[in-house]
Structure 1
C-alpha cells in the first residue's frame, strides 16, 4: 500500500514536460498464490447445498435442461457471508431479486429476437449495469461476475415468451432456498459474522505491533516509517473500521444481543488502541490480541478485557452513538438514493461502466466474426477482467486466460467420467463449485481452473455439444474476450481517478485539523445549523442527524462522543485516501500523483489518530461550528 505514498522527485514513467504519467501493464506477481480467505468454506458449502437440492430434484423429474434457471437463484448463496445475519437477510433478498430481474430481461429478449448481434449489445449493457451497481453497493465478492455469467448465458438460450414465467419462478424458488441456506447458520452461531470481523481486527492489530517491534520497524529511508509499518498501519485501520461497521449492523433491541455486542466492542476498542501504541510492551500486547482473536473465532465465551480510562470513555461514546436516532448503516449506501448518488454524473464508476459496455460489445462481435457459436463467453470474459484500474485489469486478463486454459485441460481429462451419466455430471459440477471457492481466494487463475469446466457442464445440461467443438469455442472466446476487453480498458481511460485523490486529500486534511483542534483545545468537531455532523456514512461509522424538533441549535454531544466522531471521521478518510491512491496508481495514463502531499497527509493523519486513541480531550466550552467536507464520489 505504501509504495504510492513515497515522496519522490520524479515519478517513474512520467512523460517529460507533460505532467502525465504512463504506467506499464505489469504481469509480475499475477500468478502468485496467497493465503486463502478465512471464511472461504462458508460460501462454498452454501452454494453446493443450494445447487445440489434443485439439481437432484430436476434429475428425478428428468428435466436437467432447466438447470440454468435454478442455478441462477442458487448461485445467490455465494453473497453476503461477511454480514451479520440481520443485514445478510436484507442483502440476499436484494441479490435474489436483482438476479431474477436480470434473468427476466435476458429471457424476454431471447424470446423476442434471434439477432445475435443485438443480443450481444443487450448482454453487454446488462454487464455494465451489473458492474456499476455492484461497485456502488460494494456488495463484495463475487460481485458482478455471477450476475453477468448467468444473464449473458440466458440471452442466448432458445426461449418462448410463454415459458418465461415458469423459468423465472424456478429461479425465484431456488433463490429462496439459497436465502434459507445462507441464514441457517444463525441457528447455531448467531454472532458468527461479527465475531469474525472483530477477530480479524485483533489479528491485524497484533500484526501491526509485531511489525513496529520487529527489526524493520524503525525509521524509513526518508526519515519516515518504513513501508512494512505503513502497510501494517493501513491494514489495521481498515480492519478496525470494517469491524465497527459490522458491529453497527447488529441490532441491539434484544438484551442478550446488546450484551454480546458490548463484549465485542470492548475487544475492538483494545484492538484500536494498537493504532496509538506509544512505548508500552508491544510484544506482550500482540500476544494478548492474538490469543483473544483465537478465542473469539472458536465460539467460546468472550475473554474479559481490561480497559484504560480513555478506552472506557470511548465505549461511552460508542453507546451514545448507538442510541442516536436515524443512524444510517455505516460504510454502506443507505437506500436506493445513496446508490443512485454514487452513479450520478461525475462519478468515477461511469468510466468503468463505459469500459465494460464497449469492451463486451466488441468482444462479442469479434467472437461472432471468427465464427464461434457461443459469443456470450467472450462477453463474460471481457466483463470479468474489468477491475478498479488498468493494472489490475491487465493482471486479471492474464489470470483468466491461464485459468481457462488449464480448466479446459481438466475438462478434457475428465470427459470419461462425464460420460457415465447425468448423476456423475451433477456430482462433478458440485465438486467444481466447491473447488472454485476453495481456490479463487488464493488466486483468480486457480479458481478459474474449476470455474471453466463447471460452466461447460452447465452448457451440457441444456444441450449436448461435441467436446472438441465446446473446448475450441471456449478457448477462442477466452482469448478474444481478454484481448479485446483489455484493449478497450486501455483506450477508455479513467481520468477521474486522480480527481478523486484531490477530494480525498481535502477530506483527510479537514478531518486531521478537527482531530488536532480537539486534542489541543478541546474544540467540538460538529455543530452547524441545527445538525450534528459526523463522518460521511460512506467512509466512517458516524453520521449526520437532525437536531431535536423545536431546538434552536444543535444538541451538544458529550465529550466521549466527540472523540468517537473525530476518530471515526479520520479513520474513514484515511482508508478512503489509500483506496483512491491505489486505484489511481494503477491507471496507465494518468497525471502525476501528488506523492509528497499524500505522504504528508497520511503521516500527519495517523499521528493525529494515534493521539486521539491515546488520550481524551479536556472539557472546554464548545466553540463555533466546523463545516463538514463536501461528499465525494466513491469508486
Structure 2
C-alpha cells in the first residue's frame, strides 16, 4: 500500500489547492497575521533610511524640483535593503539594488513617454515584476522587496509625458540612490565590525535559549543563528583582525555547544557565552573580550556575490516564483482594467507584494497584513491629504512615516502597511495633485491584488509546500 506524503492530504492537486484556499480564510490564520515578532537593532537602520529620505526631499525642495523629489526618495530606499549585512557585502547588494532602480525608472519613463496603451503598460510591468522578483531572490537581497522597483517604475510612467522627461526622472532616482548607498555605508568608517558583533550576539542569544527550553525548534533556531554569524564573519573582509578572531572563538564554542547539546548539556559553557552577548550589543568600534582565547578558527570562504547570484538565476525555483508573480500581476491588472478601476498598476503591485512569501502560508499572512494595514492606512492617508499640507510639511510627515515603517516592518508587516499607505500616497502627491478619494482606490486595488495573488499562489502551489497544512493542524 502506497503511503501518501504528509504534505499532500490527497493525491489530487485540486485537493491540495482546496486545502490551501481553506487555510487562507481560517480564523487561526488571520490571528497569526496579527502576531508581533520580537526584533532587535531596528533604530539605527530606521534612522539611516529616514535621514536618506529627508536629505533627498530637502534637496529636491531647495532646488525647486519638488515634483521629482518623490522619485529621488524612492531611490533613497536603497538604504532599506541589505539590513544587517556585513559592509563589503552590503556595498554590493545596495549597489545592485541602486542600479536596478535606475534601470527600472528609465524603462518606466520611456514607457510613459511612448504613450502606449494601458494594456501594454500592464503587460510590460507584469514581466518587469517577475524579473524583479527573480533578481532579488537569486541574489538574496533582503529588504522591502521587488515591489519597490515596480513602484518606482510605475511612478516614472506617471511622470514622463515626453522624451524630455526621461533624463530628469533618471537623474532624480540616481541622486536618491547615491544618497541611500552612502547612508548605509557611512557607519563602516565608525563601526566596521558592527554587523559581525550583532550577528555573533544574536547567535549567543539563540544558543542561550537552549538552557530554557530544548525543543527541536529551539535547537534549529540556534543552528541557524550560528550559521548566519559564520557567514557574516566570512564577509567582513577583516580576517586578520584580533577582534574578528575573538568573535570566531566565541562562535566556535557556541557551535560546539549546539552540536553536542542533545548528548552533553554543557550549561557552564552556555552561561559563559551568554555573558558576552550584552558586550557585543554595545555600539563600539571594537572591544577586548576578556577570557576569550583559543585556537584560531578558519573562517569559511565567503560567497561570490555575482557568480553565485547568476548561478541561482538558473534555478527552477527562482524561475517558477518569478512566473507566478508575473502571472498574478498580469491577471490583476487586466481584471482591474476590465472593471474600469482607476489604478490597475497599483493592484498589480498589491498582488506582487502579497506573493513575496517563500511559502503559501507566508503569502497568505502577508496578504492579510497588507490588506488590513491598507484599510487603516487609507484612513490616515485621507486625513493627511485633506489637510492640504504644503511641501515642507509633507516632507516632515513622509520622513516620519518612512522611519516608522523601518521600525515596525520586521515586527509585523501589517503595522508597517498602516504607515506605508499614506507615505506612498503622499509621495505620489509630490508629482501630481491627489484627493482624499485616492485612498479608497488604494484599498480597492489592494483587495483585488491580494485576492488574485492568493488564488494564483494556491493554484500554482508546490506539492512540497505543506507549511500551511502543519500550521492548520497545530
Whether these two folds match at TM > 0.5 is yes
Tell me the equivalent position of 1:594. none
Does structure 1 residue 488 correspond to structure 2 residue 472?
A: no
The alpha-carbon distance between structure 1 residues 273 and 115, as it changes in their structure 2 partners (threshold 3 A), is: same
Question: SS of the residue aligned with 1:56?
Answer: helix
Tell me the equivalent position of 1:46. 48
The alpha-carbon distance between structure 1 residues 401 and 17, as it changes in their structure 2 partners (threshold 3 A), is: closer
Tell me the equivalent position of 2:277. 293
Contact preservation (8 Å) 2:112, 2:158: yes
Hey, what's the Cα distance between the residues in 1 that align with 2:59 and 2:313? Answer: 41
The alpha-carbon distance between structure 1 residues 456 and 266, as it changes in their structure 2 partners (threshold 3 A), is: same
Tell me the equivalent position of 1:372. 341
**Residue ranges of structure 1 left out of the alignment (5+ in a row):** 1-7, 213-228, 499-583, 589-635
Does structure 1 residue 395 correspond to structure 2 residue 365?
A: yes
Output one character per residue of 1:291-319: Cα deviation in whole Å (capped at 9) or x when no partner.
21111111372423456xxxx5xx45x33
Tell me the equivalent position of 2:152. 150
Tell me the equivalent position of 2:135. 133
Contact preservation (8 Å) 1:79, 1:140: yes
Aligned with 1:268 (options 235, 243, 251)? 251
Alignment map for 1:184-195 (pairs within 5 Å): 184-195=186-197
Question: SS of the residue aligned with 2:281?
Answer: helix
Alignment map for 1:145-184 (pairs within 5 Å): 145-184=147-186
Question: SS of the residue aligned with 1:303?
Answer: coil
Hey, what's the Cα distance between the residues in 1 that align with 2:268 and 2:36? Answer: 28
Which one is further off, 376-385 or 389-398? 389-398
Aligned with 2:71 (options 69, 74, 84)? 69
What is the number of residues matched between the two proteins? 457
Deviation at 1:43, TM superposition (A): 2.6
Contact preservation (8 Å) 2:155, 2:428: no
Contact preservation (8 Å) 1:44, 1:437: yes
Hey, what's the Cα distance between the residues in 1 that align with 2:444 and 2:466? Answer: 32
Does structure 1 residue 248 correspond to structure 2 residue 234?
A: yes
Output one character per residue of 1:4-23: Cα deviation in whole Å (capped at 9) or x when no partner.
xxxx9984862279998564
Tell me the equivalent position of 2:217. 231
Tell me the equivalent position of 2:472. none
Hey, what's the Cα distance between the residues in 2 that align with 1:92 and 1:471? Answer: 31
Hey, what's the Cα distance between the residues in 1 that align with 2:440 and 2:255? Answer: 54
Tell me the equivalent position of 2:115. 113
The alpha-carbon distance between structure 1 residues 36 and 462, as it changes in their structure 2 partners (threshold 3 A), is: farther
Contact preservation (8 Å) 1:119, 1:156: no
Hey, what's the Cα distance between the residues in 1 that align with 2:156 and 2:32? Answer: 31
Hey, what's the Cα distance between the residues in 2 that align with 1:287 and 1:412? Answer: 53
Deviation at 1:382, TM superposition (A): 0.6
Alignment map for 1:577-596 (pairs within 5 Å): 584-586=465-467
Hey, what's the Cα distance between the residues in 1 that align with 2:462 and 2:4? Answer: 25
Does structure 1 residue 475 correspond to structure 2 residue 443?
A: yes
Deviation at 1:204, TM superposition (A): 0.4
Tell me the equivalent position of 1:89. 91
Hey, what's the Cα distance between the residues in 1 that align with 2:16 and 2:164? Answer: 55
Tell me the equivalent position of 2:328. 359
Hey, what's the Cα distance between the residues in 1 that align with 2:137 and 2:168? Answer: 31
Does structure 1 residue 411 correspond to structure 2 residue 411?
A: no
Deviation at 1:415, TM superposition (A): 4.0
Contact preservation (8 Å) 2:95, 2:181: yes
Contact preservation (8 Å) 2:66, 2:430: yes
Tell me the equivalent position of 1:613. none
Which one is further off, 115-124 or 185-194? 185-194
Report which of the two structures shows the higher radius of gyration computed on alpha carbons: 1
Contact preservation (8 Å) 1:390, 1:586: yes
The alpha-carbon distance between structure 1 residues 42 and 146, as it changes in their structure 2 partners (threshold 3 A), is: farther
Deviation at 1:267, TM superposition (A): 1.1
Hey, what's the Cα distance between the residues in 2 that align with 1:13 and 1:474? Answer: 36
Question: SS of the residue aligned with 2:316?
Answer: coil
Contact preservation (8 Å) 1:32, 1:443: yes
Question: SS of the residue aligned with 1:156?
Answer: helix
The alpha-carbon distance between structure 1 residues 494 and 105, as it changes in their structure 2 partners (threshold 3 A), is: farther
Hey, what's the Cα distance between the residues in 1 that align with 2:13 and 2:433? Answer: 57
Higher relative contact order (CA 8 A, sep 6+): 2
Which of the pair is proportionally richer in helix?
2
Hey, what's the Cα distance between the residues in 1 that align with 2:263 and 2:468? Answer: 40
Deviation at 1:86, TM superposition (A): 2.1
Aligned-pair RMSD on alpha carbons?
Answer: 2.6
Output one character per residue of 1:201-228: Cα deviation in whole Å (capped at 9) or x when no partner.
100010123213xxxxxxxxxxxxxxxx
Contact preservation (8 Å) 1:209, 1:282: no
Contact preservation (8 Å) 2:4, 2:11: no
Question: SS of the residue aligned with 1:162?
Answer: helix
Deviation at 1:134, TM superposition (A): 0.9
Contact preservation (8 Å) 1:73, 1:173: yes
